[in-house]
Amino acid sequence: MTNKQSKYRSYIKFLFLGLFIIFLFFADQYTKYLAVRNLSGRKEISFISGLISFSYVENRGMAWGMLSGKIVFFIVLTGLLIAFIAYSICRIEKLTVLMPQKTGLYTFLQFCLSILIAGAFGNLADRIKNGYVVDFIKTDFIDFPVFNVADCYVTISMVLLIIIVLFFIKEDDLNQIFSLKKLEKG
């Protein structure tokens, strides 16, 4: 593949990942809009009896209200995390060009990181806009904090990333992704 072809392929991939992140972000925001509109000030609504219900919560911290009221901390931390993940996605793309035999694995890794970014952006937008995160999904079968769609994105992406790191990516790959050294063909 020529340099021009690989740049074009990278551009198309970044365009797709960007649109994917935007779609997931707006899906999360729409569900939160529906939660505010239909659940705020109302009693809990059973969705699947004994499993899932909908309950409106304004979360000013993390799970179980930890670090409640630390909005600036969450905004700064989330912003830094998003920047680091975006950097990692770009770095992985450079590795994909240098090691085309790993394109499938690296593309899936970028896809998982994009899901993580969408979840982080979803909750970041709530914190900036409202000063809290709108949560509304409640598990009835286990004592677990009320959560939202963005939290699902974060959880799903983290599970997939753990599986990828444990079973599919070698330590050398991780070292190259997170190294500060310039990537060169070699």
Q: Which one from 135, 143, 172, 173 is the annotated catalytic residue?
A: 135
39, 55 contact by CB (below 8 A): yes
Q: Which two tokens stand for residue 185?
A: 């063909």
Q: Active site includes 172?
A: no
Q: Which one from 126, 140, 143, 151 is the annotated catalytic residue?
A: 151
| CB neighbour list of residue 88: distance below 8 Å, 6 or more residues apart | 113, 177, 178
Q: Active site includes 126?
A: no
The per-residue DSSP string of 50-77 comes to TTEEEEEEEESSSGGGTTTT-HHHHHHH
Residues with a known catalytic role:
135, 151
